Chain A
Amino acid sequence: MTNGRSHPSQPQGRGGSQPVPLPAGRQPARISARLQEEGYPWLFASRHTWMSLLITGTAVMMSVVVYLWYRRSGALAGPAGWLGLLYATLGTGSFLYALLAYRLYRRGRHRLRPGQLHTRMLWHGSLATIGLALLLMHSFGHLDPHLSGTYALYGLLVTIGSGGVGRLLDHVLPRLITMEIDRALSVRPRAAHSSLERQGRGVQSPSIRAAMRAEYRVFFYRGIIHSWRSIHAVLALLTCGLIAWHLVFVFIFSLRGHLTLP
């Protein structure tokens, strides 16, 4: 940066507005070319995103290893086995924590620091994915359409799938919005201005029509981003209902003595 501002990594004083003076004799670090960023690629991921993917992958792999070991040991390979119940508890806990913690954290924004909500959102995705993997293994392949758990599992698949698609849309649509706005702004200012004047006299130039089309598309893309989030929230609520139905069903089933723990 050449405008005399502080270095981005330079420590900030309390409140962040005044840079902390460097010790005597020390010069501020030169800003390398690496710090200057250019371009807007289609796909990109932050260091935190890679870290969350690594944690999710490790947790899922570990649970798969335990699952395979359990199946080879010859123990009861079903949802009511001890591993099945353990996975059910951990998976449901992960899913509910992913759902509730993020919602509650967003509402209590007075306790937030900048950047914390992003970390919470990454945990939201990671825990939901880990929960889905655990609950898939909890089923041990028993996907009977007469079982309440099957519907809960399908609900989970759809909800977490919609979250994944939403994350993808969050990458692609803002870039499409940017491209549309850039295209609209590429209209020569003088031409745009004169066409606005003509439009006032009832004449609409191609440049204004292009800008209008761009604005409608931006509106459409933003609508998808917002409505997809609502769809995801509704699906999560429906899945919670299906999980509750499954838990009640299992509870009643076990009270009648049809479900025995090993």
Chain B
Amino acid sequence: MHPGSSLLHLEQQVAAELAACICCNECLLVCPALDSPIHIRDLNEETMTAGSISEPIARFARSCYQCGVCATARVCPVGLHRDAMMVWLKVRLLRSGRGEKGS
């Protein structure tokens, strides 16, 4: 795959990884940006569901600073990239701020 094309397929990658998530919560446990407990099922659901993003999830998405701790092999037992999922949420927040719906 071409280097630039991985970004173009971010949505598909996130959808596939969300389907593979076993909701063990390990990524949230090691996250230094998460300021209040949220449920991983809510996070997964809101990451892909079109529409508004709830306040705790939006706050978490903005606070995520892409340190990548959650995506290291010793954290996620199934080798998923939570940081990519958070980027997708960030993109959705950015677009919603511009008034783009359905992102």
Q: What 1/0 flags go to A178-211 for Cβ under 8 Å of B?
A: 1101101101010010001001000000001111
- Chain B contact residue count (CB 8 A cutoff): 52
Residue of A nearest to B31 (CB): A117
CB distance from A105 to the nearest CB of B (A): 10
- Cβ of A78 within 8 Å of any chain B Cβ, yes or no, is no
* Complex contacts, B2 vs chain A, CB 8 Å: 196, 199, 208, 212
The answer for the CA separation of A171 and B45 in the assembled complex, in Å, is 25
Residue of A nearest to B23 (CB): A17
Q: Is A115 in contact with chain B by the CB < 8 A criterion? A: yes
| Measured CA separation A44–B34 after assembly (Å) | 14
Answer whether residue A2 sits at the interface, using C-beta atoms and an 8 A cutoff: yes
Q: Is the interface of A mostly helix, strand, loop or mixed?
A: helix
With an 8 A cutoff between CB atoms, is A127 at the interface? no
- Given known contacts A114-B29, A174-B65, what 5 new A-B pairs fall within 8 Å (CB)? A36-B52, A114-B34, A118-B34, A185-B91, A211-B7
Interface residues, chain A, CB within 8 Å of chain B?
Answer: 1-3, 5-6, 8, 12, 16-17, 31, 34-41, 44, 46-49, 106, 109, 112-115, 117-121, 170-171, 173-175, 177-179, 181-182, 184-185, 187, 189, 192, 196, 199, 208-216, 218, 221-222, 225-226, 229
A sample of 20 cross-chain residue pairs with beta-carbon separation below 8 angstroms, ordered by A number, consists of A3-B49, A6-B42, A8-B55, A8-B57, A36-B55, A40-B93, A106-B30, A109-B30, A114-B31, A115-B35, A118-B33, A177-B66, A181-B7, A181-B87, A181-B91, A192-B8, A210-B4, A212-B2, A214-B4, A215-B6
